[in-house]
Structure 1
């Protein structure tokens, strides 16, 4: 019996060593050695059913969803290649451009600019806020904060007049975004989510400034989309965008919310883009998708720990 036990122990040790040195194992992401898989195939079907039910109910005309588990790389999308008008989502690219300036010229965020009003300034329907004072001097950092936290269009316009140069165009180009001309800019959800992935990994601007960008985004006051479907206090770095477009059939609304949800050891990216007639119903769709995904991640994470 003792001989058998010694044989079994030796076999297990040899087997473990063989597994750890399997062909190609050195080519894998080292983080995978410490990560438990958390596949979520059922979630895609549930989200698809939710979207189709909302379309059938008339709450939604079109919707796109993108999910990405950041510790495993598992992702799925629904209509993630549909094109939408990004609207205020573009402010994240401008945020990156200004932080690039700080990277090249430390202290740039402390410089001042006079607030200018955008004559095209569209009124917000989903996030009322106290506006900055026209003609007053604000630091670049204050303008950045207002642009992201409140999605302030005047702050964005003021920053764009100073930083909307070829460097910003290069950022658009690097992320596959085509701008310019008289037509609206369009992008896909999957395309847009790559900007959040680059910030999370600190791959486009340095880690310190990427963290700073995510801090601005985590201070967002918009609570009717992704955050509405999450437990209070769960950190979320996100940006919303809204746009109304006149069509022969009437006014068509678009509402989007995209970001990173910091759920313990299982952070994930989630983006939802929507089109429909009623902005409040679109916000409810985003909320319900967020709640559904959270419940799936919560369940799967507990399952993975056992």
Structure 2
């Protein structure tokens, strides 16, 4: 059954077909029309999307320009996430053993020479008062400020067993030969396991004594072992390369030879016993050897930097170093000899005003001796650091 109102003539159907599907007519024309409608819809939607994007971009640009011209205020509270610029300018915490910069101090201190010497004497008086309360042995002290040269001493010419503290002077002489072009740090040395002085072997501290005979080490490696772990055999290898201790000793005596290292010395030890022997020194002699090293290092930092570096990174952090802030560089050389109750420490302290401190001790307790060295270093550091600068 046909629904009413739907009947059309053939001419009407043809006219409707032409208007709806085009002149081609038929099923294929109907698909074409639908495709065209889809394309028109797609173009419309694409245009609408572009319009929305442009509108959103315009709004964002207006807000951005408005934000850049608006005045800014700094919050009183720190931000939890610093900007990249802030992070780049943050200064890292200093390491425990920073490398010192060999730049001579040129700033003039505000205090007069008399005022500075007076403050140094106050520090010395405090040290003497401290020693009167704690000392049960012999102590020699030498202090020198490396900016203006003020010095203070206590029993600084009293003889003590040098022990390994003499290795600072021996290696300073080695590096002076390097600076003169007479020795290369790359030169190879061979370990001779015969007993010193014929060979290099000497019992005590160090690892070279455990190496096979003929083991090769560079001068740089040998010196580093002599300083950082106080290797006795490595020290003897250096001495042999320098021509023997009697070839080194005159150079040391030119610096200061109050107690000749190669001559026998007679004295009374802390226990009241008579002593007579060689390889002795005093606080002034060792202290001035350190002063000489500091001077050479400033004159030629490239050559002497490895020695300063080694002295600043020894395995022995007791004594002077314990009385100073952890971030200070201390280039030091300890010396111990249990048979003679000897505990020595000699160091260059790279404070704002660098100074040399040498504390030689002879007493029954090594622990007490090291504590005394620590406390003396703290007293001098406090006084030196308190001197005002412009």
Q: Same fold (TM over 0.5)?
A: yes
Do 2:169 and 2:290's aligned partners in 1 also have CA atoms closer than 8 Å? no
Secondary structure of the residue that 1:223 maps to in structure 2? coil
**2 CA distance for matches of 1:85 and 1:99?**
24
Q: Which moved more, 1:279-288 or 1:269-278?
A: 279-288
Match of 1:133 in 2: 211
- The SS at the match of 2:240 is helix
Given that 2:312 and 2:331 are in contact with CA atoms closer than 8 Å, whether structure 1 keeps it comes out as: yes
Aligned: 1:290 with 2:377: yes
Q: Which position in structure 1 is the counterpart of 2:325?
A: 231
Q: Of residues 334, 343, 346 in structure 2, which corresponds to 1:258? A: 346
| Matching of residue 80 in structure 1 with residue 156 in structure 2 | yes
Structure 1 segments unaligned to the other structure (5+ residues): 1-30, 246-251
Which residue is 2:165 aligned to?
89
Encode CA deviations 1:244-281: one digit per residue, 9 max, x unaligned.
33xxxxxx4011101111112x1111110100012122
Give the drift of 1:107.
6.3
Residue in structure 1 matched with residue 234 of structure 2 by the alignment: 155
> Taking structure 1 as the reference length, what is the TM-score of the superposition?
0.75
Aligned partners of 1:240 and 1:118: how far apart in 2? 26
Match of 1:71 among 128, 147, 151: 147
Q: How far apart are residue 209 of structure 1 and its match?
A: 3.1
- Distance, in Å, in 1 between the alignment partners of 2:301 and 2:283 is 24
Structure with greater strand percent: 1
Residue pair 1:117, 1:157 contacting (<8 A) in 2 also = no
Alpha-carbon shift at residue 207 of structure 1 (Å): 5.0
Match in the other structure for 1:187: 281
From the CA coordinates, give the structure whose radius of gyration is larger.
2
CA spacing shift, 1:50–1:131, aligned 2, 3 Å = farther
Give the 3-state SS of the residue equivalent to 1:263 in structure 2.
Answer: coil
CA apart distance, 1:216: 2.5
Report the alpha carbon displacement of residue 173 of structure 1 after superposing the two structures with TM.
Answer: 3.1
Matches of 1:73 and 1:82, distance apart in 2? 22
Unmatched runs of 5 consecutive residues or more in structure 2: 1-104, 197-201, 265-276
Give the drift of 1:161: 2.0
Aligned counterpart in structure 2 of residue 214 of structure 1, from 296, 308, 318: 308
Shift of 1:174: 1.4
Q: Distance in 1 between matches of 2:212 and 2:176?
A: 26
Aligned to 2:134: 54
In 1, Cα distance between equivalents of 2:160 and 2:204:
19
Deviations 1:196-249 (A, max 9, x none): 11121229985543444323222222101111111112101111111233xxxx
Match of 1:105 in 2: 181
CA-based RMSD: 2.9
Q: Does 1:272 align with 2:324?
A: no
- Verify the 8 A CA contact 1:109 1:140 in the aligned structure 2: yes
2:102 maps to none
Q: Secondary structure at the match of 1:216?
A: helix
Tell me which moved more, 156-165 or 32-41.
32-41
Assess if the C-alpha contact under 8 Å between 1:97 and 1:167 holds in 2: no
Give the deviation of 1:287 after TM superposition. 1.2
> What's the offset of the Cα at 1:74?
1.7
Match of 1:159, SS state, is helix
CA contact (8 A) 1:69 1:269 kept: yes
1:153-191, Cα deviation, whole Å (9 max, x unpaired):
011112222223464233133134424467322222112
Query: Structure 1 residues 49, 118: closer, same or farther in 2, change over 3 A?
Result: farther
**How far off its partner does 1:296 sit?**
2.5
CA contact (8 A) 2:349 2:356 kept: yes
Structure 1 residues 267 and 180: CA distance shift in structure 2, 3 A:
closer
Secondary structure of the corresponding residue to residue 148 of structure 2: coil
